[in-house]
Amino acid sequence: MDKLELNPHSKIKNIIAVMSGKGGVGKSSVTALLAASLAREGYQVGIMDADITGPSIPKIFGIHEGLTTKDDEIFPPLTKSGIKVVSVNLLLANEDDPVIWRAPILNNTVQQFFKDITWGELDFLVIDMPPGTGDVAITVLGMLPLTGIVMVSSPQELAQMVVRKALKMSEKMGTPILGLIENMSYAVCPHCGEKYEIFGPSNGQALADDFQINFLGALPIDPVLAKLADAGQIEDYPGLNQINLGKVIATILQTNN
C-alpha cells in the first residue's frame, strides 16, 4: 500500500496510533491522556478520532463546535489546551446519531481526515483507533505514515489474547511499536491505600517482555479519571503529571532518532 501524503497546509512530525485488541480497555482515555500531556509539555498536538462508529474524543474533551471551512480549507476545533480535534461526531447533526456506514466509506473517512484537514504544523498527531484488527485498522497501519503504535491492554485474559493479535498485526505490517501501557491495572482503596488487582494480576510487563517492546507503565482504575472524562474535562486530570505519558513517548522517540 502506498502511504498517503498530507495537504500543503499540514506538516506533522510524529504520528502515533493508539491501538488495542478490543473495546473498553481505555484506548480513547489513553489517547486523550497522551495528547493532553504532550500539549502540557508544550508540543503542538492534534487528535484524529479514527473510531468512526464509536467516536468518543469530542465528549472526553467537551468539544461541541464542529469543523469550520474557509476557501478550500477545513479547520478542526480546539480543546481548552489547544489540541486540534477531528472526529465524525463533529460532522453529525446530533451527537448521538449513529454512524451506519459500510467499510469502504469508513476507510474513506479516515483517509480524508488525514489528508483533507488543515492540521497546520504539529509535533504530534495522536490517532484513536477503532478496536481490533479490522478494515479501518488496516487502512491506518497501511496507508498513514505512522511513527509508531502505543498498545493498550488490561490485565484480563481476553484483553491479553486480543492484544497479542494486534501486536502481531503491527509486526506483520511493519509498523514500529513504541510500547505497551496496561490500563485498569489496579485500584487503590480510598480508606487504607491498599492496592487491589480487580481484573487479575498485572501482566503488562510480561506481555511487553514477550514481544520485546517497551512497557510504558500501569494506570490504575481511577474514578476521578472516569468522572472527568464523562464531564469533558480530561485536561484537568490531576494524574496527568504523575503518569506523563507525553514525556515518556517524547523520550522514546528522541532515543530512537
Ligand X SMILES: Nc1ncnc2c1ncn2[C@@H]1O[C@H](COP(=O)(O)OP(=O)(O)O)[C@@H](O)[C@H]1O
Binding site for ligand X (CB under 6 A): 20, 23-29, 56, 183-184, 219, 221-222, 225-226, 229
* Cα gap 34→230, rounded to integer Å: 17
Which residue, 109 or 183, is less far from ligand X as judged by CB?
183
Task: Give me the residue whose beta carbon is nearest to Zn ion.
Answer: 189
> Grid coordinates standing for 3?
502511504
* Cα gap 212→179, rounded to integer Å: 9
Contact indicator for 200, 156 with CB cutoff of 8 Å: yes
* Cα gap 49→28, rounded to integer Å: 9
Query: Which spans of this chain sit near Zn ion (rule: CB under 5 A)?
Result: 189, 191-192, 194
184's contact among Mg ion, Zn ion, ligand X, none, with CB below 5 to 8 A by partner kind, is ligand X
Which residue, 127 or 250, is less far from Mg ion as judged by CB?
127
225's contact among ligand X, Mg ion, Zn ion, none, with CB below 5 to 8 A by partner kind, is ligand X
Which residue, 70 or 191, is less far from Zn ion as judged by CB?
191
222's contact among Zn ion, Mg ion, ligand X, none, with CB below 5 to 8 A by partner kind, is ligand X
Task: Give me the residue whose beta carbon is nearest to Mg ion.
Answer: 28
CB 201, min distance to Zn ion, A:
19
Contact indicator for 60, 107 with CB cutoff of 8 Å: no
CB environment 211-232: b (16+ within 10 A), e (fewer): bebbebbbbbbbeebeebbeeb
CB 136, min distance to Mg ion, A:
13
> Grid coordinates standing for 226?
472516569
Which residue, 22 or 27, is less far from Mg ion as judged by CB?
27
Query: Which spans of this chain sit near Mg ion (rule: CB under 5 A)?
Result: 27-28, 51, 56
DSSP string covering 54-74: S--HHHHHT-----EEETTEE
Residues paired with residue 128 on neighbouring β-strands, in sequence order: 18, 49
CB 256, min distance to ligand X, A:
26
Which residue, 27 or 84, is less far from ligand X as judged by CB?
27
Which residue, 1 or 231, is less far from ligand X as judged by CB?
231
